[in-house]
Amino acid sequence: MKTNDMKALLALEDGRTFACRSFTGAGEAWGEVVFNTSMTGYQEVITDPSYRGQMVTMTYPLIGNYGVNYEDVESDRIQVSAFLIKEYQEYPSNFRATGTLKDYLKQGGILGVEGLDTRALTRHIRDKGAMRAYISTSNLNPSSLVEKAKGLPSMVGLDLARSVTTDKPYFWSEGKISPCSLKTGKSKSSVWREKNKKFHVVAFDFGIKYNILRCLENAGCEIIVVPASADAATVRAIEPDGIFLSNGPGDPEPVTYAVETIRALLEYKPIFGICLGHQLLGLALGGRTYKLKFGHRGANQPVKNLLTGKVEITSQNHGFVVDIESLSAEEIETTHINLNDNTLEGFRHRKLPLFAVQYHPEASPGPHDSRYLFNEFVRLMENA
């Protein structure tokens, strides 16, 4: 046992328990336990808002070896409720590192545990499905922790977008956030700073990742990020060239306010959705969603582009998916499928300028096979 490590116990709702050790001190945590198969990118993983309400275990056994830095975060805080790993590396070696993973987790008040049999946990989740779990350093009673896990709310039916969205609009420019005042009045189009120079994009924040904003900016867009609850009238008053629907956590079906807004904007301007945005757009078009057994989380998911015949290796993080059979084939064309389970990974409308993908083309972490999609969005705005 390493210095200052303390015993901990992870209990799943089905009664399975896993002994482990905390490397961040005393604490308790709870949520849905899931696994991620990425070999690198743990800092991007733990700061991804799509993981809100979840405890993430990494299948790669050695974590912490390159430390952390403040350039690779994907939001303004750590989003996971706990971080579960096989072995923690106390002494990072990387020229970009500004600190250790341990200190970073402690500063965020997030429990980190090691000594966990991550292979056994991953296999159990693959067999039984993602499930609620509870972990503690003070309560090591298996039956007590199992009961606590059973008492947690199910991920199905949870609107977690409200818990991660911005509370007010802002500009994203040169990698930084700056205030954006949407004054009352008939038109807010004067708010744009670079008229006739860049495409103006309103990005809905359902849990948006910073690298998505970087990619939109690199593609030539000026971006205003609005809260998840922003209505169609607000968007129309801003007069954007395009609308972006971001990733985010939780079940898409309870996010009815966003679905209604998207439905009202379908014929207004080009729309591009990623992850939760893909699911919400699918619902707005009359589709259905359902929960996957254990989800897709990692930087190595094979997706076939049906338009080109090429296979893209993609970064993914989602537990819900749009039912491919629920979308009208007359209106919607399937563009991408997952080669592991044939679930829907992308679609576009046959008449309207809108498309969406379930995976993460900004790939942070992950391969860059799908970065072209941001340019596709720009082309839609050009043609419109």
Query: In the predicted model, what is the mean pLDDT of residues 77-84?
Result: 98
Indicate the pLDDT class of residue 4, thresholds 50, 70 and 90: low
H-helix segments, 26-117? 42-46, 101-107
In angstroms, the CA 168 to CA 230 distance is: 9
Residue 308: predicted pLDDT? 96
- Asked if 373 and 379 touch (Cβ cutoff 8 Å), the reply is no
Question: Helix, strand, or coil here: 190?
Answer: helix
In angstroms, the CA 208 to CA 76 distance is: 11
Query: In the predicted model, what is the mean pLDDT of residues 106-126?
Result: 98
Q: How far from chain centre, in Å, is Cα 35?
A: 14
Q: What is residue 154's DSSP assignment? A: P
Query: In the predicted model, what is the mean pLDDT of residues 78-106?
Result: 97
Indicate the pLDDT class of residue 3, thresholds 50, 70 and 90: low
In angstroms, the CA 350 to CA 231 distance is: 25
The position carrying tokens 């609620």 is 132
Query: In the predicted model, what is the mean pLDDT of residues 162-170?
Result: 97
Question: What pLDDT, in 10s, does the model give residues 308-330?
Answer: 999 999 999 999 999 999 999 99
Query: In the predicted model, what is the mean pLDDT of residues 349-363?
Result: 96
- Asked if 234 and 182 touch (Cβ cutoff 8 Å), the reply is yes
Residue 257: predicted pLDDT? 98
Residue 194: predicted pLDDT? 83
Write the DSSP string, 253-274. Answer: TT-HHHHHHHHHHTTTS-EEEE
Question: What pLDDT, in 10s, does the model give residues 52-70?
Answer: 999 999 999 999 999 999 9
Torsion, CA 201, CA 72, CA 163, CA 296, rounded to 10: 90
- Asked if 282 and 290 touch (Cβ cutoff 8 Å), the reply is no
pLDDT score of 208 more than 70 = yes
Question: What pLDDT, in 10s, does the model give residues 170-199?
Answer: 999 988 999 998 865 556 567 998 888 899
- Asked if 172 and 223 touch (Cβ cutoff 8 Å), the reply is yes
Q: Which residues are catalytic?
A: 275, 360, 362
The position carrying tokens 């080109």 is 308
In angstroms, the CA 58 to CA 93 distance is: 20
Burial of 332 (0-12, 13-18, 19+ CB in 10 A): buried
- Asked if 373 and 272 touch (Cβ cutoff 8 Å), the reply is yes
Indicate the pLDDT class of residue 115, thresholds 50, 70 and 90: very high
Cα dist. 134→70, 131, 161 in Å?
29, 10, 22
The full set of domains in the chain, from first to last, is 6-150 (3.50.30.20), 161-383 (3.40.50.880)
In angstroms, the CA 135 to CA 355 distance is: 40
Residue 46: predicted pLDDT? 98
Query: In the predicted model, what is the mean pLDDT of residues 131-142?
Result: 98
Q: What is residue 153's DSSP assignment? A: P
Question: Helix, strand, or coil here: 322?
Answer: strand
pTM above 0.85, yes or no: yes
